[in-house]
Structure 1
Amino acid sequence: MKIAKLKKVIGSKNVLTDIDFTLYENEIVGLIGRNGSGKTTLFRTIAGHYRPDEGSITINGQNIATETKLKTEIFYIDELDNFLKYYTLQSINDFYRTAYPTFNQDLYLQLMKEHGLNQRLQYRKMSKGMQGLYQMILAISSRAKYLLLDEPFDGLDIIVRKKVIGLLLTHLSEEKRCALIASHNLQELEGIIDRALLIKGQTIAKDYTLENMRANARKIQLVFRTKQLPPIVKENSKLITIQGRVIVAVFENYNSELATTIKSYDPLVFEELPLTLEDLFEANLQKEQLLV
């Protein structure tokens, strides 16, 4: 799936501008950004709930705006406008079997049995965790190639969360599918995703491959003899914290030459710390740039 030059205006407000990225088979992609950054609007636009004002969404070169049958390749449940709550699981199952021509009913019934879910249950009477588990069963059984999952781990206890993640990882890899996941639980996300898209300023500001990030980026704690930071640090890092003369910064393009130059300023402390997805989020999405 390719999203190209996507723009969405709601009312008089630009919510998404010049969105560009591609989703590939056999990958799990995290969509991270602050509240109100446009994550849900992006999901709704890809799923066809909103029409894009500009740009295109294509699957194998075909535009989903004109080739409506391609929408069965996309699975999305809008938590803010969730029609499921009014029905039994049997009715919901019937709806999805109709909406998705290749819906795997045998797998659906197998997973329902494995996780102790009864078709007679009413969705709204289920716990938040059981609703999340059921949504994942629907997503997997739909056989849609692209799963758009908006906060799928929100409110789940640790046991249900492990079940949901296990289902996702097991069945995604078997059928060459892709999941785009928006989640505030960055620690959970980091353990399962291959890439992270960072949405900021109405667009995709960063597209990190986690393997490359771990190879090229570093989180460094530094203490210099004065509060004046060397230009090399200002120009090549993004600050996470500063306390007196102690700074912790992320260097996204770290190398031995950069390290040698920093050390030439004779820092009192030069210590590499473990780098996480949360660090990248914090470094890129703080309201104010503290390195001045």
Structure 2
Amino acid sequence: MNITVEHVTKTFGEKKALNDLSLSLEANKIYGLLGRNGAGKTTLMQMLAGHITPTDGEVKVEGLSPFENREVLKNICFISENNNFKKKLKIKDVLKVSSLVYPNWSQEVANDLLARFNLSGKMSTKGLSKGMESALGITIGLASQAPLTIFDEPYIGLDASARYLFYDLILEAYQEKPRTIILSTHLIDEVSNLFEEVVVIQKGQKLLHETAENMMNKALHISGKEDVVDAFIKNQNVIHQSVIAGRKSAVLFGGPYNLAEVREHRLTIESINVQQLMVYLTEENRSGKLYV
């Protein structure tokens, strides 16, 4: 489903969670929604899911506002960290209710996921561990087959093997039935290979929206003698730098870069992952401004 967010501001009392945010997402892609705690990610996802309305601006899914719009909401599934179902029912009843909410619901997918997560329809949701609750939420999200499926840190309590199973299941579900998937996570490196595009939000504003490949191509991590690095990075956009025992490391963002020139300066090109890059991009300098 296509999404447009136009000049959206959301305030809670004196706190501004989103600040004149504009964003456009195309249908049938997997998006990583990244940012530090308090950046506004959950507020944005709640708006897309029709749970809250903007203070100013417009949020539209397929050209329509999702808030209190049944025709839109039936095609949106939002799975958050918790409270994805009533904890007084058995799992089979939770799935029955979900099947009535989502017109594209697949009971076959739901049954398969229950088996993979070692859950039984006869279990009461009241006694589930946090990991089991997360597994059930993931099951609902994927079995809904909703054209817009949103996951907000859905894996709390899952061990590493279960989390990696979740990532595999997202890819399987997407390949079998393409849809727009938005995944917000702090475990970025575990799942970054799934992202087709990355949106980074900082202080309620869009800091970056790039394909994952373009974002990584814009980053250059170099190291070498301090004076040589200083000379090379002059007039470059440096988002992070450090010095240890006279050897300096610097991360640049923007490009393009002449790698032959890097080698001519006898600088070493270091690796950098998506999580490190996101942290550096959202750091602030001493004046309180972002580096990008």
Q: Name the TM-score, length of structure 2 as normaliser.
A: 0.86
Where does structure 1 differ by over 6 angstroms across 4 or more consecutive aligned residues? none
| Kept after mapping to 2: 8 A contact 1:151/1:181 | yes
Structure 2 gaps of 5+ residues are none
In structure 2, the partner of 1:168 is: 170
In structure 1, the partner of 2:242 is: 241
Cα distance in 2 for partners of 1:256, 1:33 equals: 26
Deviations 1:141-182 (A, max 9, x none): 112111111112333212211221121110112222121111
Q: Confirm or deny that 1:280 pairs with 2:281.
A: no
After TM superposition, give the deviation of residue 240 of structure 1 in Å: 4.4
After TM superposition, give the deviation of residue 81 of structure 1 in Å: 4.3
In structure 2, the partner of 1:130 is: 132
Q: Confirm or deny that 1:220 pairs with 2:217.
A: no
Q: Residue 62 of structure 1: SS of its match in structure 2?
A: coil
| Kept after mapping to 1: 8 A contact 2:147/2:180 | yes
Q: Residue 205 of structure 1: SS of its match in structure 2?
A: strand
After TM superposition, give the deviation of residue 226 of structure 1 in Å: 8.2
| Kept after mapping to 2: 8 A contact 1:220/1:270 | yes
Deviations 1:77-127 (A, max 9, x none): 333545433332122112212221232223323433454321121224223
Cα distance in 1 for partners of 2:153, 2:221 equals: 27
Matches within 5 A, 1:113-262: 113-225=115-227, 229-230=230-231, 232-233=233-234, 235-243=236-244, 245-257=246-258, 260=261
| Kept after mapping to 2: 8 A contact 1:8/1:54 | yes
Q: How many residues align?
A: 286
After TM superposition, give the deviation of residue 54 of structure 1 in Å: 1.7
Cα distance in 2 for partners of 1:153, 1:273 equals: 31
In structure 2, the partner of 1:79 is: 81
In structure 2, the partner of 1:36 is: 38
After TM superposition, give the deviation of residue 256 of structure 1 in Å: 4.4
Q: Which amino acid aligns with 1:281?
A: M
CA separation of 1:152 and 1:81: change in aligned 2, threshold 3 A: closer
Q: Name the TM-score, length of structure 1 as normaliser.
A: 0.86
Q: For 1:101, which of 100, 103, 106 is the aligned residue? A: 103
Residue identity over aligned pairs, in percent, reads 24
After TM superposition, give the deviation of residue 34 of structure 1 in Å: 1.2
Deviations 1:162-213 (A, max 9, x none): 2211211101122221211111112112222122211112111111311113
Cα RMSD of the aligned pairs, angstroms, is 2.7
Structure 1 gaps of 5+ residues are none
CA separation of 1:206 and 1:242: change in aligned 2, threshold 3 A: farther
